[in-house]
Structures are given as C-alpha cells and as structure tokens.
Chains A and B, each alone.
Chain A
Amino acid sequence: MTHIDPVGALRAMLMIRTFEDTLARRKEHGFQLLSSGEEAVAVGLASALGAGDQLLTGGRSIGPALARGVAPERVMAELLGKSGGMNQGRAGRGHMSDPEVGFFGAHAVVGGNISIAAGVAMARQLDGDGGIVVILFGDGACGAGALHETMNMAAQWKLPILFVCNNNQLSVSTTRDAALAVANLSDLGATFGMWTRTIDGLDVQGVAAAARDAVRYVRDGLGPAFLECKSIRLRSHSTTARETRSRAELAELQTHCPIRRHADALQADGMLDDAQLEQMRQDAATEIAQAMAYAEASPYPAAQEVLRHVV
C-alpha cells in the first residue's frame, strides 16, 4: 500500500479498540496486554508493509496482529486458549503468530523478540526476496542489552530490518524518563548509523508516512532504520496489573486518544459524517461480536495434547 486510506485506517483502529474492549469485558479474559492508545502505531505501520514482509512484536501484540491482517476470530480464540486460534490456543497472549499473513509472531520476553527478528531479516537477506522485517517493541525494551547487541549486528550486516519503538512512556509503572538516559529513543539507532526518526505516534497518517519512508530505506538495502512513535497507554500494564495513574491523569490522556483525534480530523475535512462514524462503530461491534462468538464456540484443546509438538 503506497498511501494509507484515511477512512480505512479509522475503521482498522476502531476494530482494534472494540476488540480489546470486548475482550476486557468478558468475565474470564485471563491475563491480557491491551494496547488501547497505541492503535495508530499498529495501523500506520501495517499500512506501509507488503505481503512478503514480516512483523514481529513484543507481548503487546493484539493491535499489531489485527492491523497486519490476522483474522479477529482467530486472534480472539487464541487469546482465550481455544483450538480455533491461529496457534490452536497454545501461544495465547504474548506469543501468537501467523506467518502466512506476515505476522511472524509476538514474544513476551521484553526485548526478547528483537534478535529473533534480526534472524528473520537475515533469512530475507539470504533469500534475496526483497522482503523486510519489522520489529515492534516498547520503550521498556530500550534499556535491554539484546536491543543494543542486535542493532549493532543489524547495522554491521545491513540487515533489512526496521526497528519500531512504540514508546507508550510506561514500563509497568516506571516512566520512560526514569528508566532511560537517552534523549530521544531513536538516538539509539543513530548511534549505529541508522535512518532514524521520532514522530507523534498518535497521528495515524503521520505514522503511515514515516513508516513508508523507513520501509523504503530498508527495502532499498541501505541497512536498518529506527522509528520511534510516541504514544500513550490508556489502560494499565495488563488486565491483572494495578493502574498507577490517577483518574484525572487518565481522563486527560483520553483527550489524546488517537482514534478520536483521527475521527475528528476526518469529520473536519468533510470525509466522514456522524452517521458514517456511527455505522463504522456498529460494524466494528458486529465484527468483533462474531469473533467472540467464534471463540466462545471453539473448544479448548484436549488435555492429552499437552505433550504434542514438544520436540
């Protein structure tokens, strides 16, 4: 996709938000890492990728997986541990994958998927198929040695990999400023001579444009690139973690919601009216209700399957 479809981007973001809200409302939803507030990063980034590219993420992977095109009902079933999930319910939150659609997978060790992604990029380079790899991680991973080691090797070997930091500015309860000494997180990439940019991760069209530039650079064989997207996290770290921010702070954060912002912009530009927006919300609700129904109907794996696929 060369240009993001602004209406389509809104639809995609609404679908992610509705998906996560629906999941969180389910009485037994387990331990989930939600990405509300970060939808513009996932959707903008995914718009810049082609069919032969692969996306890898940290544990906060629902939005990116959906944006990349994994079927919502398969994601929902996977997150609930049902056989109808793309990994038969074995991976669950934080570890799901669907390489067929370009989502090579999540890995919920913070920083742990970064070197893996560089290996997948090495395979793309050896295959010479023009495909690139994007690794999406949070600011929490920026203090991890694995990132620094991998950036060095990726730059040295000119691997076709784009490092995207979704800087939601919180690592559980620790703020980015309290954890990381570097001024801009994209400066980390600059150290290794990469193309770098720090952008507003709440602006889906801005993310899409920057991602397009970064992807072109990487695809042209010029080496890795590093894109920092500053976003917000509207929910607590996980569905089982305490919220550390006050109600007032959270209410203030809601005013920066990337979905509301994009919808307002489209309406201001006359590209969307209230009825269309409402229709879009209803469509998302219907689609996700169907995904949930699919997941609810899907059985758990049999206990005897516990020893399958070990070696």
Chain B
Amino acid sequence: MLYEQKPVMARMFFREAVTRAVREEMTRDPHVLILGQDVGSFGGSYREFDGLYKIFGPERIRDTPVAEAATVGIAAGVAAAGYRPLVSITYMDFLMLGFDALINYAAKLRYKTAGGLSAPMVVKTTAGAQGQGVAHSQCIEAWLMSVPGLRVVAPSTPADAYGLMKTALRSDGPVVYIDHKRLFPTPGDVPVTETSIPFGQACIRREGTDLTLVSHGYMMRVACDAAQIVAQDGISCEVIDLRSLAPLDIDTVAGSVERTGRLLTLEEGQTVCGVGTEVATRTFERTGPKPWMRIGALPAPVSSNPVLEAACIPDAPRVADAIRTLLTR
C-alpha cells in the first residue's frame, strides 16, 4: 500500500465518483434518466457512466444523435413532466446549441408558471483546454452565472464531483454541472458513506494570511501550485475553491478577504464579465474596496497549437507573479 487510506474514504478516479453519484441516485429515484451522445453501452466519452447501462437499461439511459438542441429540449420537457434527466454534453462549447431550451425554457419555467412547473434537470458537461482547439476548449460558465433560475457548479476534486452531482440530481430546477478535462486523470479520496455537498458552499483549500486566491475547477490546481511557489518566498495565500458558481458563497470569500486584505481571482475563462469580476464586485460590496487582480485566459481563442494554448491559459508561474505584484499594492 503506497497510500495510507483513511477508513472512511475510498480512492477513486474522478469519473468513478461521478458514476457512483449517478448510480446511487438512479437506484434511489426511478425518475432519474441519462440522455446524451455515447452514454449507453459505450459508458460515456470519459467513461463517466461505465456499467450503468447494464444496470438500468435503454429505457433510462438513452443514446442520442448529434443533436444538442433537441436533446437539451427533450430533457427539459421530460423534466417538466416529472422526470429528472441528466443530459451529457461532451464539450461545453456544444452546450451553446442547447442554450435555447436551457435558458429560454428550463431556467424560466418555474417563474413563468408561478411555481406550477419546474425543470429538474442536470446538464453535465466538460470544459477546459487540453489540446483540442478553438471550439473544444472553452470555459463559458460565467455566461451561465447571469441566468436567473440556473444553478452552476464546477468541482475540482472527485469528492466534490460526487457530492455536487448528488445535490444536482436532487435539485428542483436546472443545474449545469461542469467537469474539467484535465482533472480526470487525477484520483482522489471520496467518503465511503453516502453524502452530498450543498450548493453555495465554497471550501478553503489552504489557509493563509497575506492574500485570498479564489478559483474553481482545474484552475484550483494551478492556484494551489502557485500558493506553494510563493510560500517559498514567505507569502501566505489563502486558497478558496468556489465549487458552486451560482449560487456564489460570498460569505466565505468576504470573510477571508477581511482577514487577508487582498483578493486575487483566477479562472480559465475570459476575465471580461467573468467569474472573478463577479466575485470581486460582490465581495467588495461587503468589505469595501481592497487591492485585487484578476487572472484568466488572454483575450484570444484557445488554439490546439500547444504553444498558443499554453500562452493563452493561466499557469502557476503567471499566478505566482500576480500574487507578488498584488502584495506590493
């Protein structure tokens, strides 16, 4: 045994944490369904539904044609009519094709029916750059955060993937659940007992006193690496994982910024109207203005060219430089 395993945790791949959450919820509630491309016997593009087709069969796990618009719409309709579909959208870029049903219908259904109908559906999708080019790499979660009626979550660990997916499948309105491709190779410890993680609760991954670094998804790894780098210079970063983007846990961020006096936001998507801008604005509404900086992708498409991709996306040295700069303010 190369790892000391705590008795209450089991180590597993990211995808296995997702599979477990979905399997448990499908077992618990016969109204939970899966729709998407290659989700059936193939088990999902990232094997995140491995083995489920054998258990639950073709009625509840439906392979769809390449038709994101209709697939999201059908999911919204079946949800409005009493089911709890999970729609798998292989790349977040392709979710744009499903925005009409998701945003114009599902997110507004409760409101326009005065609570009479709702669309409890989960859109599970995968964001982020990994050499796949301009239309397979985007992080557009900030677009979705501004839609009333929509919840948006983005785990950075298998444990959070498990716990947030459980909550997503029990939510009574539409949820966009976002994985990041670069997180998949890394396993993590997940509680053995059945648990869930409520939306709207950020998590302090590293305590610190000089600066608050806020991020989510794969950029959490970059954030932690950067915090480690600057720790060698005696700089103490508090690193917060948002986990849930809508609703946002501003209490945790504002509390941290009150202690550290500085805020650095980090995301893989664009900074214009981005997650960090929103976090900063809402934090400073509480704390009053503090020195802050935001880091995100450069204002360019994300190429599959390895040099250009790396140039576009934040990395730990760039974040470490920003931390040092911010500490001079």
Contact = CB atoms under 8 A, between A and B. Distances in A.
State if A and B touch, Cβ cutoff 8 Å: yes
Interface of A: 54, 87-88, 90-91, 95, 97, 99, 104-105, 107, 109, 112-124, 126-127, 145-146, 149-150, 152-153, 156-157, 308-311
A123 B78 contact: yes
B142 interface: no
A99 B116 contact: yes
B65 A153 contact: yes
Contacts of A97: 112-113, 116-117
Contact of A118 (B77, B79, B83): B77
A120 B115 contact: no
22 contacts: A90-B111, A90-B112, A91-B113, A97-B112, A97-B117, A99-B117, A105-B113, A105-B117, A107-B104, A109-B105, A113-B105, A115-B72, A115-B76, A115-B101, A116-B80, A116-B105, A119-B80, A146-B70, A152-B67, A152-B70, A309-B111, A309-B114
Contacts of B81: 54, 104, 119-120, 122-124
Interface string B250-268: 0000000000000000000
B233 interface: no
B148 A116 contact: no
B36 interface: no
Given A145-B69, A311-B173, A119 B79 contact: yes
B304 interface: no
Nearest to B77: A119
Contacts of A109: 100, 104-105
A118 B67 CA distance: 13
Contacts of A309: 110-111, 113-115
A150 B70 CA distance: 5
Contacts of A54: 81
Interface residues of B, number: 38
A126 B65 contact: no
B122 to A, nearest CB: 14
B73 interface: yes
Interface string B78-111: 1111110100000000000000110011000011
A104 B100 CA distance: 18
Interface in B173-218: 173
A112 B101 contact: yes
Contact of A153 (B59, B67, B83): B67
A42 B64 CA distance: 32
A119 B69 contact: no
Nearest to B67: A149
Nearest to B171: A311
Given A90-B111, A310-B148, A311-B151, A122 B78 contact: yes
Contacts of B101: 112, 115-116
A87 B65 contact: no
Contacts of B104: 107, 109, 112
Nearest to A94: B112
Nearest to B82: A123
B75 interface: yes
Given A87-B113, A152-B70, 10 more contacts: A87-B112, A112-B101, A116-B80, A119-B73, A121-B77, A122-B74, A126-B59, A146-B69, A149-B67, A153-B70
Nearest to B106: A116
A301 B16 CA distance: 48
Question: Most B CB atoms within 10 A — which of A95, A149, A150?
Answer: A149
Contacts of A150: 67, 70, 73-74
Nearest to A116: B77
Contact of A123 (B59, B77, B100, B116): B77
A104 B117 CA distance: 9
Nearest to B33: A126
Contacts of A113: 105
A54 B81 CA distance: 10
Given A145-B69, A310-B148, A117 B117 contact: no
A311 B116 contact: no
A149 B111 CA distance: 27
Contacts of A115: 69-74, 76-77, 101
Contacts of B76: 115-116, 119
B111 A120 contact: no
A152 B65 contact: yes
B114 A90 contact: yes
B62 interface: yes
B83 A123 contact: yes
The 4 closest A-B pairs by CB, nearest first: A119-B77, A115-B73, A123-B81, A149-B70
A122 B116 CA distance: 20
Contacts of B131: none
B317 interface: no
Nearest to B115: A309
B149 interface: yes
Contacts of A112: 73, 100-101, 104-105
